Amino acid sequence: MHRSIGWVVALIAIAACGQDARTPAPVTSPPAAAPDATPAVSPIALAASADRGRLTLTLTNAGTDPLEVATRVEAGPRPQYDWLTVTLDDGRAPRTLRFVEDRDRAAVATAPLAPGAAATETVDLIAWAIRAGNGAPLAPGTYRVDVTWDATQATRGARFAATATTTLTVTAPAAAACARAGYRAPAGAQLIVLGAQAAAGRATIYAGLYNAGTEAVCVDSHIATHEWQSDWLTVMYADGAKYHHASRVIELDDARDKSYPVSALLEPGQTIWHTVDVDAWARRPRNHAEPLPAGSLYTQLAYDTTRATDVWAGRLVSEAFELAVK
């Protein structure tokens, strides 16, 4: 009698196990998102506008709760934007700009935003267009500007992604001369010399004189003669061996019979661009016929019109850039 009861209990247990194996697992709700996960709807609205080569971005807290937003990375001579990409399309060949460079030290800046509050950042597209990885200067034309701010992987502030679209118009300086005796540049004129390596040639560079201010400025552009020359622009470099601290100076003028200076009125946001074969100039007797050494050269440009009386007078030095001599 006791043995039969044992068999019955065993059979019931086996049957119960088989029933569990055939029964579907109960449906459960997905786990709740982590507090710092990216929300399905961005709490930040992005607006963009462009004028005179600069892109203005406005980040607005469109939600109902206070938020902290990472706005820029402080590193080096200019703010960087790890979360920003900009695509420029003039109807011919779209190009994408990014706003991150090599850096040793960096600090993420953030802004607290109450509901409805906004933070604004201004990005200089003229200067960033020639930074490493971004390519050549912006050619004159009208561009559709598609902006993406993707902070979904941000380590500081709210995680979100937002987009905006605007239009940018880039204009070239007028061809008419502007030099005149006794010229006085507007107070606070803000000119910047820009330099970067071009893709072509052994050591070809882009050299630009950029009006980053708010007033038009009359400047010397170049010397018109049998070839392009400049009495005011020089290239300086250091190679870490023979030349240190940008000690070699390459002049960009030479013998000529007939010539005259060409001036141009730079409106705000405009740039005079020159393409210069530095190695070809270095090989001239004017520069001691010494070719550039292969390798990486620490390079700067100088623009010096301190003796001018009919155009802007002063001296500017560009930010250093790498010239990789092939």
Answer whether residue 179 is part of any domain.
no
Same domain, 158 and 253: no
pLDDT of residue 189: 95
Let me know: does 307 contact 313? Beta carbons within 8 Å.
Answer: yes
pLDDT of residue 77: 85
pLDDT of residue 18: 42
Let me know: does 239 contact 282? Beta carbons within 8 Å.
Answer: no
Distance CA 55, CA 144 (A): 12
Same domain, 195 and 311: yes
Answer whether residue 81 is part of any domain.
yes
Answer whether residue 285 is part of any domain.
yes
pTM of this structure: 0.85
Same domain, 228 and 140: no
pLDDT of residue 171: 97
Answer whether residue 26 is part of any domain.
no
Q: Which domain holds residue 118?
A: 44-170
Q: Indicate if the pLDDT at residue 17 is higher than 60.
A: no
Q: Indicate if the pLDDT at residue 8 is higher than 50.
A: no
Structural domain ending residue among the three candidates 110, 139, 170: 170
What mean pLDDT comes out for the span 215-222? 98
pLDDT averaged over every residue in the chain = 89
Q: What amino acid is encoded at 270 in this protein?
A: Q
Answer whether residue 299 is part of any domain.
yes
DSSP codes joined into one string, 237-257 = EE-SSS--TT-EEEE-----S
Distance CA 194, CA 127 (A): 7
Distance CA 259, CA 206 (A): 23
pLDDT of residue 38: 54
Query: Six-digit token pair at 49?
Result: 């506008």
Burial of 11 (0-12, 13-18, 19+ CB in 10 A): exposed
Structural domain ending residue among the three candidates 170, 203, 228: 170
Distance CA 187, CA 199 (A): 37
Q: How many folded domains does the chain comprise?
A: 2
Answer whether residue 13 is part of any domain.
no
Same domain, 243 and 165: no
CATH number at residue 90: 2.60.40
pLDDT of residue 151: 96
Same domain, 200 and 321: yes
Give per-residue pLDDT as tens, 280-294.
999 999 999 999 999
Same domain, 198 and 230: yes
Q: Indicate if the pLDDT at residue 308 is higher than 90.
A: yes
| pLDDT above 70: percentage of residues in the chain | 87
Same domain, 154 and 50: yes
Same domain, 199 and 321: yes
Confidence of residue 240 (pLDDT cuts 50, 70, 90): confident
Same domain, 308 and 198: yes
Answer whether residue 131 is part of any domain.
yes
Give per-residue pLDDT as tens, 122-144.
999 999 999 988 999 999 999 99
Same domain, 238 and 127: no
Confidence of residue 76 (pLDDT cuts 50, 70, 90): confident
pLDDT of residue 205: 98
Same domain, 106 and 162: yes
Distance CA 203, CA 227 (A): 19
Answer whether residue 294 is part of any domain.
yes
Give per-residue pLDDT as tens, 18-38.
444 333 344 333 444 444 555
Structural domain ending residue among the three candidates 141, 170, 199: 170
Q: Do strands 95-99 and 141-150 pair parallel, antiparallel, or not at all (unpaired)?
A: unpaired
| pLDDT above 90: percentage of residues in the chain | 79
Same domain, 106 and 161: yes
Give per-residue pLDDT as tens, 157-171.
999 999 999 999 999
